[in-house]
Amino acid sequence: MNQEDILRWIQNGENSGMEFKRDDIRPEQLAKEIVAFLNFKGGKILLGVEDDGTLSGITRPALEEWVINICSDMLHPGIIPYYEEIQMGEKRIAVISVDMGISKPYVMRHDQGENIYIRVGSTSRLASREEHIHLLQIGVNTLSDENRSLDVEEEDAISDEDSGAAAIE
């Protein structure tokens, strides 16, 4: 990731996979955006960039640790995002990259309970009941696929043992 990537992303604006946020974002605002990306196809959050693409920069001390703590304390299941800071002239911005989640639905935890957010275009919003059910179905299918994959690997290992074939690690 370099300055040219950042400038191209800013020029393209916010979309279903890109969100701009000021450095003074509240923890629940950041958690909401991350959860929405996890429940969608993943995305990037540029901290230190205004909605109109103006670079405001980051000044919050220990920003990476703050982001990681939000991802482990306010998200369920917790995640570890990819975090990087890039110098853009006189300003520094942070890039939080979130892959598509595999344990859907992801929720944001807060004092009043839990909320499920989804990404719709350039906005993040609460999932409807139907969308919640759909995310649960996706999560179950993903787990079933993983279990089938593990079953096949186990069967292959057993059949290799039976045939006397050596496993290559």
Q: pLDDT tens digits for 55-104?
A: 999 999 999 999 999 999 999 999 999 999 999 999 999 999 999 999 99
59 is written with which tokens? 């000044």
Residue 141: pLDDT band by 50, 70, 90 thresholds?
low
- pTM here? 0.80
Burial class (CB in 10 A: 0-12, 13-18, 19+), 135: buried
What kind and span of H or E run contains 65?
helix 63-73
Average per-residue pLDDT for the chain: 86
Q: Which of these, 39, 37, 49, lies nearest to 9 by C-alpha position?
A: 49
Tell me the CATH number of domain 3-127, given options 3.30.70.260, 3.40.630.40, 3.90.1010.10, 3.30.950.30: 3.30.950.30
Residue 40: per-residue pLDDT: 93
What are the tens digits of pLDDT across the range 103-140?
Answer: 999 999 998 899 999 999 999 989 888 887 888 887 76
Can you tell me the distance from the alpha carbon of 43 to that of 20, in angstroms, rounded to the nearest whole number?
11
Q: Where are the domains of the chain?
A: 3-127
User: Does residue 30 have a pLDDT over 90?
Assistant: yes
Write down how long the chain is: 169
